Amino acid sequence: MLPDFGHIVLNLVLLAVMLFGLFSLVMPIMPGLAIIWVAVLVYAFVTGLNWVSGLLFTVITILMVAGGLVDNLFMGAGARMSGASWLSIAVALVAGVVGSILWPPFGGILLALAGIFLVEIIRVRKLRLAWESTRNMAFGCGASVFVRFGIGVVMIGLWVLWVFLISK
């Protein structure tokens, strides 16, 4: 176990990393929830786990995975509600990954939106319908930022509970 000063420094450093992860969630390429989770993993590694902290770590891990799926679900659902095809959504997801790698931080969202627009304009041949699918995908992406931010806050809150109530 770390001495008290070491514990305080560790907690402050990990909290700073978690807050960085939380506020990086507004950037499409940044894996903010994964950053928070890695900080919690470091804490678990340094301080050890018991059954309660192990349960908290499991819940935090599930939240991180669920938060990672939120983007795809919200973006796809938004586009699908306006009639976008599954092919358009798949193209948008692939384009989003490519754009994130090639032109961070905003290339992912820009290429995803361009991908769905192009496939939809070719498929339905109506500018208004293609634009509606693109707009709804963008709104879904925006909504997912708020949901992932909330998940990040819950993850950090569970870690704080772990630090102050369980690790004593």
Give residue 64's Cα distance to chain centre: 8
Domain that holds residue 53: 4-166
pLDDT-flagged residues of the chain (< 50): none
Q: Which tokens sit at 109?
A: 């969202």
**pLDDT of res. 25:** 87
- The pLDDT, as a whole number, for residue 19 is 96
pLDDT at position 57, please? 96
Alpha carbons 135 and 82: distance in angstroms, whole number = 9
Peptide bond into 105 cis (omega under 30): yes
Provide the domain count of the chain.
1
- Residues contacting 7, CB < 8 A, separation 6+: 1
